[in-house]
Structure 1
Amino acid sequence: MAGKIISFLFLILILGNFQAQGKAEKAIEAFSEQYPQEKIHLVFNKNSFIAGENLWFKSFVFNGYELSKISTSLFVELYDSHKTQISKKILPLINGQGSGNFLLPDNVKEGVYYIRAYTTWMANFNEDFQALRPIVIYNPSSPEKLVIDDTSKWTASVFPESGTFIDGINTKFAVRLHSKGIEPSDWNGYVIDTEKPDVKLASFKGFDQNVGSFSLTPVIGKKYQLIVTDTKGNTQTVDLPDVSDSGVNLQVSSGNDAVKFFLKSKNIAPGTLFKVIGTINNQLVFKVNSDRILTQSYSIPTAQLINGILQLTVFDAQENIVAQRLCFVQPELLKIKKPELKSLTLNESARALNSFSIAQNPDNSAYTVLIMDGKSESSEDDNSLLSTLWLTGDITSKIVTPSQYFKPNHNSEALDALLISEKWKRFDWKTIMAGTFPIISYKSQPYISYKGKVSIQGKPAPNTDMNLLFSMPDQGIKIHQVKTDANGFFSLRGLIFEDAIKFSYQLNDPKIPKEQVQVIFQPDYSFVPLKKSLPENPYSLVLRNLEDEPDSEIQRYAITKNTQSTINEKATLIKEVLLKGIKRNKTQELNDKLSGPLFRGANETVFDLVNDNNSAQGSINILQWLQGRVAGLTLASDMGNYIPKLRGSTMNIYLDEMKIDPSMVSSVSAADIAMVKVIKDYFAGGSGGGSGAIAIYTKRGGITGSVSDSTVPTKLKQITLNGFDKEISFVSPMYNDENFKNISQDVRSTLYWNPYLKTEPKESPEIQFFNNDDAKNYKVILMGFDEKDYAPVYYNETVK
């Protein structure tokens, strides 16, 4: 399950007398291949909420630095501050992306709540790497109100570069602030020798609310202290580590062309053998093993690397760790694909129509689009897609506003100091070198999966054929056959449906009375309880006075909530959207009519030969026509027959949902084909096969594999299975429609939300939205991922 990214990251440099892999190299190779690590970014439709509102969210699931193909389902939970679960959802992941919503109860108390998101695969590893985002929910009717905690004291910690502080070696230190409340933004410090407290040996000013740095050359036997002070006069004294009389100090600088490092040492014999290993995303990208390592500097070229955290570890000849350091690759050259806005037509007048399009990017399949009143706050202001991908997805400690380190005017020196104060916690060298790896207790299943057991008169029914009967509108009854194993078990894997689905069942053997047959289903997935405590937050609750008035932002939320129900009732598609959607609606209607519930894929491409794609009518073989129209699909020739392959794996072919041999495809006239569907992932009708399928539906589609007697299911036992949670649509008013003219007040902070704006190969996605009553500019946020260059697609600017 190792990510594809390893193919172009791997630039190992071998120097000196290194000849064979040591324990460290073997351990990291095994860990990387067998235990890939996922991380999740969550973006919300706004930054805070009021009781009774809908909270919409979008998730990006990454495997290292690429969209994850490991998991196809996402578990999302809402907790209050006492760790009581309020709600939970299970959502499908399509190309590593998913979306959903929580309807916040009207009676929920004001407070800080938490949204937890994880995959089944992530549950095998440290909970700290799961997404756990605080959310502020206001409720003016609640007896208590939230106030910012600006009285809690802060503490400071010091971290020498690479973890060593050695006599006579000038050492860079990072100073890190921590507080339950709000860390000061303006602070400074200086270092003293405890024997001469009046002499400042080094002084510095904090970069931000997280970190500052200074350098010091120590003398053995001296005791050093750091004095840190904020503008309010709060002061803390911190002891620096004891000075060592020997050791190795790893010093690193990261530039646009290379990451450079060298080792400085004291009382280390010349010719001592050391090894330095560099890893990115738990993958080996650099190593040097030499007895001359203390006499020269080294450069790791960055041309073949990507942005991300590089971990450098120094080992001695016995493979003991003597120094470690994290740094960021090319902090001044962030590889971000910034979308270009075209045909920008903006109007700040109340309720005016605004529009723009996005320049084509064939390597980004979809955008997440959020447009807000320019004075409103976004969840991206604090922790952005960029900061999750490159920093907080792999760093579990509290970081104040991590998004600041990847904005256009970011401070790379501050980011470097931050990483000096951190350690890589995805794995522990000593543990994996000893051969101890994570225990896999939870295995990912494709989408929604169920396990079933068939019993006859209470005894398991081994190797038994059973028909599942689905009643489909306008199609009669769809049949899908399953076979039990030697113990009477079977499975349905890769189901993709929302809410619930009902079906009946019967054994193929007519001699067995249906009254003697029992079928039990249970989900082959589960929500995993949260074990750790919820993180601290900078808020506290105080009693609300009767005369307390909510601030202006909360008042705007209350007004918006009261008018949103009216908006929802009156929402209709504008004529232009209807015209664009007619073709897609007819295709969807055809797909719903012809394909059964087990032949649905989250990653499917539908070709409608009834309403479109007339060019297929002249094709001799429909597979030839498909080639070049589906990314990753190729054809191999085998004795005159075309064998479809997806990324090298052979795909099954189905005709009206019955599996056929590729040789039969040429006998099906394209003029008789109503629809072709290419499923690129798991689907239940293919027995969970991951190589996907090509499903061909004739204009008689639904006859093959169906029964005409619609009363059959009513005579049989019926089963209901629950699927993915359905997302409520986000609705905005359209003021060019008369139905919206009587909305009295519009103070929405979120003007447009689309978690999955799909792109077409030859079309520029177009976005239209209406202003509220008073916005004078707009915060436009576009997010996606370029899968060709492994780069985030990101735009976050305020436009006028």
Structure 2
Amino acid sequence: MTSKRVCQFFTTTLAVFFCATTLHAQKLDASLAKLGEEYQQERAYLHFDKGAYTPGETIWFKAYLQAGIYPSDISKNFYVDWTDATGLVLFHTATPLLEGTAKGQYEIPATYKGQIIHVRAYTSWMMNFDTVFLYNKDIRIVQPKDAVTTAKKVDINLQFLPEGGDMIAGLKSRVAFKATDQFGKPVFVKGKITNAAGEEVVAFAAKHDGMGVVDIETKAGDKYTATYNTPDGQTKTVALPDMKATGATLSVNGIGGRRSFLVERAADAPENLKTLYVMATLQQQLIYRAKVDLTESAAIGGSIPVGNLPSGIVCITLFDANWVPVAERITFVNNHNYEFKPTIDVVGDTRKRAKSFIDIDVPDTVAANMSISVTDIGVSPDSTDNIISHLLLTSDLRGYIHNPAFYFRNESDSLQQYLDLVMLTNGWRRINWEDIANNRMPTLKYRKDSAYLSFSGKVYGATPIQIRETGSINLIMKSRDSSTNLNFLPLRPDGTFSDPNMLFFDTLKIYYQFNKNKDFASRVAVSFSNGLLPTPYKVGDLPPSYNIVVFDTSGNTRMRQLALEQARLTKLLQGTTLEGVTVTAKAKKPLDILDEKYASGMFKGDGYQFDVMNDMVAQSSFSVFQYLQGRVAGLQINNTNAGGTPSASWRGSNTTFFLDEMPVDAQQLSNIPMTDVAYIKVMRPPFFGSFGGGSGGAIAVYTRRGGDVKSEPGKGLDSKEIAGYTKFKQFYSPNYAVGDSRHDQPDVRTTLYWNPYILTDPKTHRITLEFYNSDITKKMRVVMEGMNKEGRLMHFEQTID
């Protein structure tokens, strides 16, 4: 939905609105409206099939995307970077978005040794804003033998955070505090706050998850220090933030159907702090504004009606007379209007390979989009965050929020009070008021993905006249499943061509030829693009690894046992299959087979080998020299000589070149199309097959022979490969009611069922799902999440005994 609809909704909820008449206020209104309309930000959440995995398993996910309070219709492409703990990208997923949702998977390498895989998920539109708000999560990887960990000394980080931002001399200040360990986890702390004279001002003790709040009667010129004891008995101190000599404070009551606030200024406050303005926003939309007149009084209160608002974080900002922000406070409004509640009836059977049923009924007039997972209860769950707590809370806050799902368990006042401590101790900076006041909008570095993957290309090295005479480019597109499509695209005057209606997955091999000039391809360069963001090599500035499990849990132990059992059964199955087979020869490597086919005499033996026919990079290289550059340690290749002829050297001596084992010069070798090359071998110096002893080594290039490439459409044409969306993999759910040879194998699955798309509408609002148990599961966990077209969310969790 557009932000206009959001704004209209918010506007109807206003009970109090004081209209500022200054030109500055009008400009601020216009800039804020533009920000909310044209720069609305997206928030992402991923539902995974389970909370922990072992190497070799597949991680299944469903992505949900919101903009404002509705499913996002801003972006059409969704990206996930799967990295190790250092940020090195292991895999990059690109998937299409359907009504604000996407699905996908990642197969963990069986050889992966890390204890976590970090997930970063985003759209290109999200990359235009602060990347701290991208989706980030650490997924636990249970190794067969985890590294031995020892208890580490707890290092407490204690922060004091004045409400509104500053303590003002002479005014009563409400100061929140938060204590965490070196991993960001909460730590209980208590102590006392003293003034500069060492006198105790107030005692403090954490009320919930290391958080609490104290009231301090400040005095001009004084300084305050907190003293507390660490778990090992040490006494430590931390200074509270310095006070401002003068200013104004903003205090907010963070619970209830109204948000009462108190604005207070110092007695000697300057004129710009005697007329102030209070403005409240939700999802970058204005919901309240009031003028505060402190010319006759030093303090005044008011209230903001929030009972009819959508649930979420409201930002309350205090401005001076010149509309410069002087204090800010966030508060969470939970009106419990964020859910839709389908009827879910689970009929589970935990017997070996028994059949279970799940009946889902969404008796509503609004279409819903949901996902469901059923797992062995022994698998480590991750119930600390879910679709509700993430999209309403954590996706709008900076830093780590411990167990955010806790704050949505019920409607009690105590939970609201605990949640207000989170508001007081965590950062929020979605709106830069200085930029808004000066009508500076965010800089857009990435385009809005308003269309799905788009195929395009460009011809380089041709004049406009040549392009006009050529007319169009003919394309033969061959996918990995051997399907072939023909396409004829006109060339624009600048050499570009495109087909915005093309949608493809995995990899396409594209053979191309120009319509009116068959030899034109040999004189120009052609590039192809899919319109998607490139795959990053490494992700920097990763958040700390909050979810690392330092000590083992029973769930991890069971996963480890199941993984070892699966490995044992696989090995046993292989041994049974190979029983009676006598191995008489060692299998040859593909490169050894190539060497045996092409190399002879002194060209056989040790060297750097390259299978060009099966190397995508090789096929997209312009020459042998470009392809080899940087691939062989010690071999120096220069492609930038003044005469245009490349050269190569090794240990200061010139390298010798061979084509099909016949000596050639560099120019001849550089003119060989890479599509004609089958195999390259680089011999280390000295290579005695060269004239003069070969002190610079040798490069031997072998062209393709008959039988190297089977006959296929496009053979003989220039070709390149282009990646599309990540190919979807089908989740395997066995049906034991029918015969299947796979059923003869032991079933030790820990994810029993995964369905990323359960779609309902007013006509088909009831769905029945069926799945079968494994051989080892005695208890199951069902987790279902979803979002409907109105942006309402659902989270369901049930255990089956």
- Greater Cα shift, 508-517 or 126-135: 508-517
Judged with a 3 Å threshold, the aligned counterparts in structure 2 of structure 1 residues 477 and 151 are, in CA distance, closer, same or farther, namely closer
Asked whether the equivalents of residues 171 and 216 of structure 1 are also in contact (C-alpha less than 8 Å), the reply is: yes
Instruction: Look up the equivalent residue of 1:5 and give its one-letter code.
Output: V
Instruction: Look up the equivalent residue of 2:730 and give its one-letter code.
Output: S
* 1:428 alignment counterpart: 432
2:121 paired with 1:114:
no
* 1:447 alignment counterpart: 452
1:709-741 per-residue CA deviation (whole Å, 9 max, x = no partner) reads x99867976665421111222223444445466
2:353 paired with 1:348:
no
Asked whether the equivalents of residues 166 and 244 of structure 1 are also in contact (C-alpha less than 8 Å), the reply is: yes
Asked whether the equivalents of residues 255 and 416 of structure 2 are also in contact (C-alpha less than 8 Å), the reply is: no
Instruction: Look up the equivalent residue of 1:99 and give its one-letter code.
Output: K
Distance 2:340 2:572 in 1: 39
* 2:561 alignment counterpart: 555
* 1:759 alignment counterpart: 760
Distance 2:521 2:237 in 1: 79
Instruction: Look up the equivalent residue of 2:529 and give its one-letter code.
Output: Q
Instruction: Look up the equivalent residue of 1:348 and give its one-letter code.
Output: T
Q: How does 1:5-404 map to 2 (within 5 A)?
A: 5-10=6-11, 13-15=16-18, 18=21, 20=23, 21-140=25-144, 145=147, 147=149, 150-167=152-169, 169-181=171-183, 183-193=185-195, 195=197, 197=199, 199=200, 201-209=202-210, 211-229=211-229, 233=233, 235-244=235-244, 246-267=246-267, 268=269, 272-291=274-293, 296-330=300-334, 333=336, 335-342=338-345, 344-360=346-362, 361-379=364-382, 381-404=383-406
Distance 2:207 2:567 in 1: 42
User: Deviation at 1:340?
Assistant: 1.6
2:545 paired with 1:537:
yes
User: Deviation at 1:367?
Assistant: 0.9
1:582-606 per-residue CA deviation (whole Å, 9 max, x = no partner) reads xxxxxxxxxxxxxxxxxxxxxxxxx
Give the 3-state SS of the residue equivalent to 1:387 in structure 2: helix
* 2:683 alignment counterpart: none
* 1:418 alignment counterpart: 422
- Greater Cα shift, 84-93 or 487-496: 487-496
Distance 1:511 1:137 in 2: 54
User: Deviation at 1:554?
Assistant: 1.6
Instruction: Look up the equivalent residue of 2:454 and give its one-letter code.
Output: S
Distance 1:392 1:40 in 2: 11
Instruction: Look up the equivalent residue of 2:562 and give its one-letter code.
Output: R
Give the 3-state SS of the residue equivalent to 2:731 in structure 1: coil
User: Deviation at 1:337?
Assistant: 1.7
Distance 1:763 1:39 in 2: 27
Asked whether the equivalents of residues 80 and 114 of structure 1 are also in contact (C-alpha less than 8 Å), the reply is: yes
Judged with a 3 Å threshold, the aligned counterparts in structure 2 of structure 1 residues 477 and 161 are, in CA distance, closer, same or farther, namely closer
User: Deviation at 1:783?
Assistant: 1.3
Instruction: Look up the equivalent residue of 2:533 and give its one-letter code.
Output: S
User: Deviation at 1:102?
Assistant: 1.5
Asked whether the equivalents of residues 145 and 541 of structure 1 are also in contact (C-alpha less than 8 Å), the reply is: no
Judged with a 3 Å threshold, the aligned counterparts in structure 2 of structure 1 residues 512 and 51 are, in CA distance, closer, same or farther, namely closer
- Greater Cα shift, 762-771 or 200-209: 200-209
Asked whether the equivalents of residues 149 and 540 of structure 1 are also in contact (C-alpha less than 8 Å), the reply is: no
* 1:793 alignment counterpart: 794
Q: How does 1:467-478 map to 2 (within 5 A)?
A: none
User: Deviation at 1:111?
Assistant: 2.6
Asked whether the equivalents of residues 51 and 108 of structure 1 are also in contact (C-alpha less than 8 Å), the reply is: yes
Asked whether the equivalents of residues 8 and 304 of structure 1 are also in contact (C-alpha less than 8 Å), the reply is: no
Asked whether the equivalents of residues 364 and 784 of structure 1 are also in contact (C-alpha less than 8 Å), the reply is: no
Structure 2 residue runs of 5 or longer lacking an equivalent are: 574-710
Instruction: Look up the equivalent residue of 1:51 and give its one-letter code.
Output: P
User: Deviation at 1:766?
Assistant: 1.5
Instruction: Look up the equivalent residue of 1:264 and give its one-letter code.
Output: E
Asked whether the equivalents of residues 449 and 524 of structure 1 are also in contact (C-alpha less than 8 Å), the reply is: yes
Judged with a 3 Å threshold, the aligned counterparts in structure 2 of structure 1 residues 117 and 471 are, in CA distance, closer, same or farther, namely closer
User: Deviation at 1:222?
Assistant: 4.2
Judged with a 3 Å threshold, the aligned counterparts in structure 2 of structure 1 residues 22 and 273 are, in CA distance, closer, same or farther, namely farther
Asked whether the equivalents of residues 74 and 98 of structure 1 are also in contact (C-alpha less than 8 Å), the reply is: yes
Distance 2:720 2:540 in 1: 37
User: Deviation at 1:8?
Assistant: 1.0
- Greater Cα shift, 238-247 or 124-133: 238-247
Instruction: Look up the equivalent residue of 1:225 and give its one-letter code.
Output: T
Distance 2:234 2:385 in 1: 28
1:343-389 per-residue CA deviation (whole Å, 9 max, x = no partner) reads x312333433221211124424321111223343334x133212221
Percent identity of equivalent pairs: 24
Q: How does 1:594-633 map to 2 (within 5 A)?
A: none
Report which of the two structures shows the higher radius of gyration computed on alpha carbons: 2
User: Deviation at 1:68?
Assistant: 1.6
2:506 paired with 1:496:
no
Distance 1:316 1:405 in 2: 34
Asked whether the equivalents of residues 455 and 461 of structure 1 are also in contact (C-alpha less than 8 Å), the reply is: no
Asked whether the equivalents of residues 52 and 379 of structure 2 are also in contact (C-alpha less than 8 Å), the reply is: no
Instruction: Look up the equivalent residue of 2:541 and give its one-letter code.
Output: S
Give the 3-state SS of the residue equivalent to 1:765 in structure 2: strand
Asked whether the equivalents of residues 148 and 538 of structure 1 are also in contact (C-alpha less than 8 Å), the reply is: no
Instruction: Look up the equivalent residue of 2:794 and give its one-letter code.
Output: V
Instruction: Look up the equivalent residue of 2:540 and give its one-letter code.
Output: K
Distance 2:734 2:491 in 1: 52
Cα RMSD (Å):
3.9
Distance 2:102 2:333 in 1: 29
Judged with a 3 Å threshold, the aligned counterparts in structure 2 of structure 1 residues 16 and 80 are, in CA distance, closer, same or farther, namely closer
Distance 1:481 1:288 in 2: 62
Give the 3-state SS of the residue equivalent to 1:10 in structure 2: helix
Distance 2:799 2:192 in 1: 39
Distance 2:506 2:294 in 1: 65
Distance 2:743 2:539 in 1: 51
User: Deviation at 1:425?
Assistant: 2.3
- Greater Cα shift, 515-524 or 391-400: 515-524
Q: How does 1:711-790 map to 2 (within 5 A)?
A: 720-737=721-738, 739=740, 742-744=744-746, 746=748, 748-759=749-760, 761-773=763-775, 775-788=777-790, 790=791
User: Deviation at 1:52?
Assistant: 1.6
Asked whether the equivalents of residues 339 and 794 of structure 1 are also in contact (C-alpha less than 8 Å), the reply is: no
1:74-111 per-residue CA deviation (whole Å, 9 max, x = no partner) reads 22222222322222221111112112111111221133
Instruction: Look up the equivalent residue of 1:179 and give its one-letter code.
Output: D
Give the 3-state SS of the residue equivalent to 1:250 in structure 2: strand
Distance 2:59 2:757 in 1: 16
Asked whether the equivalents of residues 345 and 354 of structure 1 are also in contact (C-alpha less than 8 Å), the reply is: yes
